[in-house]
Amino acid sequence: MLRPRFVFALLVSFGIAASAAAQAPVEAEYRALVQRVKSGDLSVDFARMRALYSQMSAYEPYGEAANNASRAEQMARTGDHQAALTLANQVLGTYYVSLAAHYAAAVAYDKLGDKQREAFHRRVWAGMMRAVLASGDGRTAATAMRVLTVSDEYHVLRALRVTPGKREVAREAGRVFDRWEAKEQSGADRLLYFDITLMFAKLERK
């Protein structure tokens, strides 16, 4: 008769193996898309690339890579360009779909005089931003924009040229949202919804 501990260990082992097997094609497709971008092909489906990354075990919206991407962006904004570039490139090695890291790299390369690399990272950032904006208009929970990190939300707010105000978490139809009160340049009030269901699920597992 098999001992309970042995059976449990066996089930865990099978579960890990099954999870790894399911991840393999996702990671392979993601890495193929990343390689195409690195090779200069910016016709890739950026929405697909970001969606694939969100299915990978490497996706940690509150983890080290996401935090370092935000740090790199802050360094770039405050003038520490070489440090920003070093950290941004480190992040992009594992988290290539980071809006913050590509933005930081673009700013740093611009200030350091490498216009070709600056243009590349700005185009990648723009491609991913278009993908986020195309995911919904953000005016209701049903049409919320899909983001991978809170940092993404700030990038969208800046891209839309709205001034952010209060942010609160909302739930509707089994999904979780960040709901922002914002002001348009005209002074009009605007609500913006971001779907953070995947982010929240990761947080709850910790």
pLDDT over 70 at 44, yes or no: yes
User: Please, what is the angle between helix 99-111 and helix 81-92, to 10°?
Assistant: 140
- Give the DSSP H/E element, type plus range, for residue 64: helix 64-78
CA dist., res. 152 & res. 181, Å (int)? 16
Domains of the chain: 60-134 (1.25.40), 141-205 (3.10.450)
Work out whether the CA dihedral 84, 90, 93, 98 comes out positive or negative. Answer: negative
Q: How confident is the model at residue 189 (pLDDT cuts 50, 70, 90)?
A: very high
CA dist., res. 19 & res. 148, Å (int)? 21
Residue listed under structure tokens 């075990």: 57
pTM: 0.86
Asked if residue 47 lies in contact with residue 136, where contact means CB atoms within 8 angstroms, the answer is: no
